[in-house]
Structures are given as structure tokens and as C-alpha cells.
């Protein structure tokens, strides 16, 4: 009997799975890995970012249902399974000072309590590897930061029979990664490649403001080659029609340039219970031939 590897990707909103690590997931699915996306919220407070759909009364009144349908289409494209944790989107507060978060939203939940449904999913799905966000959330959206917090609690607690005793039989995941796809080396490489080809780069302003808008000091440890699945990633992203403009900035870099210049999706190894060597090219490095691989 062939053992099956299992990957769990924990995300804040529907569409996050398609913009962060989607090509990696599609690659592993093609290799027979069982992949489960966990979506913490329904994206109920997300804005309609596609200008072609702005002002659509039906979408505005039924945004939760619309985004659930978009998620269903994206997961079919990627070939993954998906579960909702059922928390309510916090929205992205704006202003100075920032307004308080809405009552009952994900960002205001007690971390220990909010981690329990994720612990239950870990124990039932039994992932070997979990991906999530770093302590800054990738960017400081309250739902992304809360996703990080519950992921860290769940990773540590899932294998402990004394914690969350009503959440199923214990299971100990072996590795946890932070998504780091929006990193400076990749952005610089694409920016310079576009200029060298005489093409316009969408990254100039980003790089000028990088130190203000990005966290610093991240360590890239793991580079998963998945360029052939970039088109699948983009198709899944476009399925989230309310969130993505097919003619917008996401798609301004020609596919052949992306595949040639930066053919990987990148991660930061945050926790590991197996030995591995850095840098890695596989999220399952140290697991495939490990005696603890079940």
C-alpha cells in the first residue's frame, strides 16, 4: 500500500488560497497528495474589487453566497478539498484612528476557543504539513493575524490528548510553514526582468514603499518548483470574480516571464518535528522517508 501525503493550507478568506500557494497545491494534487484548504471566514465584509462587478445589487446583497460559489469553483480548478471554519469576516478597518472591529467577528474571538474547530480538522484530516501566515498575517488584516494565531495554537495542541479532549483523537503534524510568496527577492527579480525586456513593471511603486508596507527580516527557506501550474493558479484566482480584475495588476507580468524568472512559490519553515536541510524544494522534505510518516 502506498502511503499518502497530506497537506493542509489554512487561509483567512475565500480567494486567499488562490493567491497564496495555489500552484504549490495544484502541483501536489497532481502527484497524488491529499490537499485540504481550511477557510476561516466567509469573506462577508470583503469589498467588490472587480470594477466590472461594482454596483451589482444582487452581489452586494448576497456577497456571502456569491463568494461561497466562487470558492467552490476555485477548489474544483485546484483539485483540493475545502472546509469552512464558519467565522465571520472582520473587514479591513481604515482611518486614523482605526475604528473598532465589528462585534462577533473573527478578529475578536478568543484565540484558544477559536482554535478548537481547527484542531478538530487537523485531527480528522491528519495533515503531515500545514501552511499558514506569519505573525504579521502576510499583511496586517485582522483575519490574517487571527489565522496565524489559531494555526499556531492548533499545531501545538492537535497532538496533545490533554488539550481539546472533545475534538477527536490526537494527531501530530510534522511541519508548519508560513506563506512568503510576496517577498522582496522575487519582486525585484520580476521588476528587473520586465525592465530588461523593455516592458512596463507594476512593481516600481511597490519597491519604493516596500519598507513601509512590508515586514522585514523574513527568512525564505523553501522554494517549491511549480511554474507549470501558474496557469492553474491564475484560473483559480479569476474564479473569485468579485475579488479579482482579470485585467488588473495580478496579471500584468507575462506568464513566460514569471515561469522563467521565478519558477517557484516560496515559504518560511516555522516549525518542524523532523530533520531537514535548508534550503528545501519540497514541503515534505524530511517526511517522505521518515519513520513517523503515517
Binding residues for Zn(2+): 13, 16, 144
- If you ran DSSP here, which 8-state letter would residue 133 be given? -
Distance CA 286, CA 216 (A): 28
Distance CA 19, CA 7 (A): 17
Task: Find out whether 233 and 262 touch, Cβ atoms under 8 Å.
Answer: no
Distance CA 229, CA 220 (A): 21
Question: Which residues participate in the annotated binding site?
Answer: 13, 16, 144
Cα dihedral value 249, 250, 255, 260, nearest 10: 100
Phi, psi values for residue 74, rounded to 5°: -65, -40
Long-range pairs for 236-239: beta carbons < 8 A, 24 or more residues apart: 236/17, 236/18, 236/22, 236/26, 236/74, 236/77, 236/78, 237/15, 237/18, 237/19, 237/22, 237/74, 239/18, 239/70, 239/73, 239/74, 239/77
Going from the C-alpha of 31 to that of each of 3, 4, 283, the distances in angstroms are: 12, 10, 13
- If you ran DSSP here, which 8-state letter would residue 98 be given? P
- CB neighbourhood size of 64 (10 A): 16
Phi, psi values for residue 163, rounded to 5°: -105, 140
For 114, the enclosing helix (H) or strand (E) is helix 111-125
Amino acid at each position: 500500500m502506498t502511503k499518502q501525503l497530506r497537506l493542509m493550507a489554512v487561509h483567512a478568506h475565500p480567494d486567499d488560497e488562490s493567491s497564496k500557494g495555489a500552484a504549490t497545491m495544484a502541483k501536489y494534487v497532481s502527484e497524488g497528495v491529499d490537499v485540504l484548504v481550511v477557510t476561516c471566514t466567509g469573506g462577508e465584509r470583503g469589498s467588490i474589487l472587480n470594477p466590472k462587478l461594482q454596483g451589482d445589487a444582487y452581489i452586494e446583497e448576497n456577497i456571502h453566497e456569491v463568494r461561497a460559489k466562487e470558492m467552490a469553483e476555485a477548489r474544483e480548478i485546484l483539485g483540493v478539498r475545502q472546509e469552512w471554519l464558519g467565522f465571520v469576516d472582520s473587514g479591513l478597518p481604515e482611518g486614523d484612528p482605526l475604528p473598532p472591529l465589528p462585534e462577533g467577528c473573527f478578529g475578536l474571538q478568543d484565540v484558544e476557543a477559536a482554535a478548537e474547530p481547527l484542531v478538530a480538522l487537523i485531527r480528522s484530516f491528519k495533515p503531515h504539513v500545514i501552511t499558514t501566515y506569519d505573525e504579521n498575517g502576510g499583511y496586517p488584516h485582522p483575519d490574517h493575524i487571527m489565522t496565524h494565531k489559531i494555526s499556531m495554537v492548533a499545531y501545538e495542541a492537535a497532538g496533545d490528548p490533554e488539550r481539546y479532549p472533545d475534538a477527536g483523537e490526537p494527531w501530530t503534524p510534522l511541519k508548519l510553514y508560513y506563506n512568503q510568496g510576496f517577498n522582496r527577492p522575487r519582486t525585484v527579480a520580476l521588476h528587473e526582468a520586465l525592465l530588461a525586456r523593455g516592458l512596463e513593471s507594476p512593481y516600481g511603486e511597490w519597491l519604493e514603499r516596500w519598507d513601509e508596507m512590508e515586514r522585514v527580516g523574513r527568512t525564505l527557506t523553501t522554494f517549491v518548483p511549480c511554474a507549470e501550474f501558474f496557469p492553474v493558479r491564475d484560473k483559480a484566482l479569476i474564479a473569485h470574480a468579485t475579488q479579482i480584475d482579470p485585467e488588473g495588476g495580478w496579471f500584468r507580468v507575462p506568464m513566460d516571464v514569471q515561469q522563467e524568472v521565478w519558477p517557484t512559490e516560496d515559504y518560511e519553515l516555522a516549525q518542524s518535528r523532523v530533520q531537514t536541510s535548508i534550503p528545501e524544494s519540497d514541503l515534505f522534505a524530511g517526511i517522505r522517508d521518515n519513520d513517523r510518516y503515517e
